[in-house]
């Protein structure tokens, strides 16, 4: 069952899909962690793989950058490929003072400046949330691995270069942990389609304190986050 963006056949995807933003990170995960991984999608170079992890079928596919890209791929996986769970594993810019490079944040909720939810024609502002089952299992995995994870509200931005110099400080005052560009679309799609979603992010830079990791580091060294997601997927 091909879509305009995914060439995979029916049943090519597992019930749980890990979604990094970067196609090369998807390839890295497939090669390092997934047994018998086979390429099931490569339209526009957005690579998707399916194989097994500890004997359980798992898929990994890139989402690309930004809400429109995440919105398309997650919707098609949920709607046309019968995927039940999507776990985003991405990078984020730290905002909270207590966050350092390589810290892990799990998005319990996600605020946004996007107009994505306008399509639902609901008055006021919808609050997209993580699935509690996925969230609770991920936190359990972190406890078992003795990983100090931060759980809370993040912000999905439609812009990377913001003309408002005070923007990130305003988010900090409201208790936002980190900023990224995909989670809100994933959480909205999951809610609308009665599916499950979770976003796990590694801090790749700090937008207030400064400091950043290289593109190579973001591609190949966020293994702690990847392993949390894989163990969470294994428990589903």
Give the residues across from 106 on adjacent strands.
151, 200
CB count within 10 Å of CB 148 equals 9
Q: What letters, b where the CB count within 10 A reaches 16 and e where it falls short, cover 218-232?
A: bbeebebbbbbbbbb
- Classify residue 234 by burial, with Cβ atoms within 10 Å: 0-12, 13-18, 19+: middle
CA dist 26 and 2 (Å) reads: 20
**Cβ neighbours of residue 76 closer than 8 Å, sequence gap 6 or more:** 3, 5, 6
**Which of 84, 205, 217, 220 does the annotation list as catalytic?**
205
Q: Is 205 a catalytic residue?
A: yes
- Helices (DSSP H) in 81-182: which residue ranges? 132-144, 167-173
Residue 45: phi, psi to the nearest 5? 75, 10
Catalytic residues: 205
């Amino acid at each position: 069952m091909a879509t305009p963006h995914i060439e995979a056949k029916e049943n090519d995807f597992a019930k749980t899909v890990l979604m990094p933003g970067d196609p090369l990170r998807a390839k890295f995960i497939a090669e390092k962690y997934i047994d018998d991984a086979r390429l099931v999608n490569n339209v526009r170079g957005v690579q998707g793989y399916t194989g097994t992890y500890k004997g359980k079928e798992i898929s990994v596919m890139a989402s690309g950058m930004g809400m429109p890209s995440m919105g398309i791929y997650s919707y098609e996986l949920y709607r046309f490929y019968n995927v039940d769970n999507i776990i985003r594993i991405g990078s984020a810019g730290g905002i909270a003072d207590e966050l350092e490079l390589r810290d892990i944040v799990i998005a319990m909720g996600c605020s946004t400046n996007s107009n994505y939810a306008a399509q639902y024609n609901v008055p006021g502002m919808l609050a997209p949330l993580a699935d509690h089952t996925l969230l609770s299992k991920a936190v359990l995995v972190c406890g078992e691995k003795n990983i100090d994870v931060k759980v809370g509200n993040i912000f999905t931005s439609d812009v990377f270069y913001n003309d408002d110099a005070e923007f990130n400080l305003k988010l900090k005052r409201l208790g936002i942990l980190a900023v990224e560009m995909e989670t809100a679309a994933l959480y909205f799609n999951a809610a609308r389609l009665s599916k499950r979603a979770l976003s796990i992010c590694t801090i790749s830079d700090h937008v207030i304190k400064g400091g950043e990791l290289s593109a190579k580091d973001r591609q190949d060294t966020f293994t702690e986050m990847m392993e949390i997601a894989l163990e969470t997927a294994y428990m589903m």
